[in-house]
Amino acid sequence: MSKREFTLDKLKRELGIQPPKELTEYVREITTIRSKIINCLRKDGELTVKDISLKTGLPENIVFWHLMTLFKYGIVEPTEKTDDGYYKYRLRGEAHG
């Protein structure tokens, strides 16, 4: 099997391998959370963790954790500190004025 053909769907189809239901649900939950954060930043521009939490309804600790993951992989970047000392974040490469 070439590298290009090595996909989850191919494994499921040819080898009958199914990921555990719990893993599938966990990945779906992570994807939903990160999509909410990304969509919030796309819509509203530069925001703090607290702002994102208020707008998405997600707990601040969950927002922070996923925001740091998105930062690690270059999807978001910090922009400036607020007067309270909190960073604002935006999608990398997107400037909002």
How many domains are contained in the chain? 1
Phi, psi (degrees; rounded to nearest 5) at 21: -55, -40
For 52-93, write each residue's pLDDT tens digit.
Answer: 999 999 999 999 999 999 999 999 999 999 999 999 999 998
Q: Which domain holds residue 45?
A: 7-91
Report the CATH number that the domain containing residue 78 is assigned in CATH.
1.10.10.10
Q: How far apart (Å, rounded) are the C-alpha atoms in residues 39 and 5?
A: 31
Instruction: State pLDDT tens for residues 2-61.
Output: 555 567 677 778 887 787 889 889 989 999 999 999 999 999 999 999 999 999 999 999
Is 14 inside any structural domain?
yes
In a domain? residue 2:
no
The first and second tokens of residue 70, run together, are 């998105």
H helices present in 1-97, as ranges? 8-10, 21-44, 49-56, 60-72
Coarse DSSP helix, strand, coil percentages of the chain, rounded to the nearest 5 percent: 60, 10, 30
CA dihedral 33, 38, 41, 46 (to 10 degrees): 100
In a domain, 96, yes or no: no
Is 97 inside any structural domain? Answer: no
In a domain, 45, yes or no: yes
